[in-house]
Amino acid sequence: MVIRLIAIDMDGTLLNQRNEVTPRVQKAIKKASNIGIKVILATGRPFIGVKCYLEDLSLKKDDQFCITHNGALIQNAMNGECLSEVLLSFDDYLYFEKLARDLMVHFQAFTKTEMFTSNQDISEYTVHEAWMTGIPLRYRCVNDMDCQLHFPKVMMLDPPELLDQAISRIPYSVLQRYSIMKSSPYYLEILNKQANKGTGVKFIAEKLGIKRDEVMAIGDQENDLAMLEYASISIAMGNSIESVKKIAQFITKTNEEDGVALAIENFCEI
Beta strands in the chain (DSSP E): 5-8, 38-42, 65-68, 73-76, 82-85, 106-110, 115-117, 137-139, 153-157, 178-184, 187-192, 215-219, 233-236, 250-251
Q: What was the pLDDT predicted at 9?
A: 98
Summary mean pLDDT of the chain: 97
Catalytic-role residue among 9, 11, 224, 258: 9
Q: In the predicted model, is pLDDT for residue 1 greater than 90? A: no
Active site annotation includes 121: no
Give percent of the chain above pLDDT 70.
100
Q: In the predicted model, is pLDDT for residue 248 greater than 90? A: yes
Q: What was the pLDDT predicted at 193?
A: 98
- DSSP class of residue 86 equals -
Say which residues have a Cβ less than 8 Å from residue 237's Cβ, sequence separation at least 6: 12, 13, 218, 219, 220, 244, 251, 252, 253, 254, 255, 259, 260
Q: In the predicted model, is pLDDT for residue 14 greater than 80? A: yes
Q: In the predicted model, is pLDDT for residue 215 greater than 80? A: yes
Enumerate domains of the chain plus CATH numbers: 5-85+195-268 (3.40.50.1000), 90-192 (3.30.1240.10)
Residue type, 58: S
Confidence of residue 167 (pLDDT cuts 50, 70, 90): very high
Residue type, 95: Y
Q: What was the pLDDT predicted at 270?
A: 75
Task: From residue 49, give the alpha-carbon distance in Å to each of 38, 54, 60, 134, 244.
Answer: 20, 10, 13, 6, 24
pLDDT in tens, 45-90: 999 999 999 999 999 999 999 999 999 999 999 999 999 999 999 9
Q: What was the pLDDT predicted at 96?
A: 98
pLDDT in tens, 124-150: 999 999 999 999 999 999 999 999 999
Asked if 53 and 117 count as a contact pair (C-beta separation under 8 A), the reply is no
DSSP bridge pairs for 85: 73
CA distance 11 to 215: 20
Closest by Cα among 107, 34, 84 to 204 = 84
pLDDT in tens, 111-126: 999 999 999 999 999 9
Q: What was the pLDDT predicted at 261?
A: 98
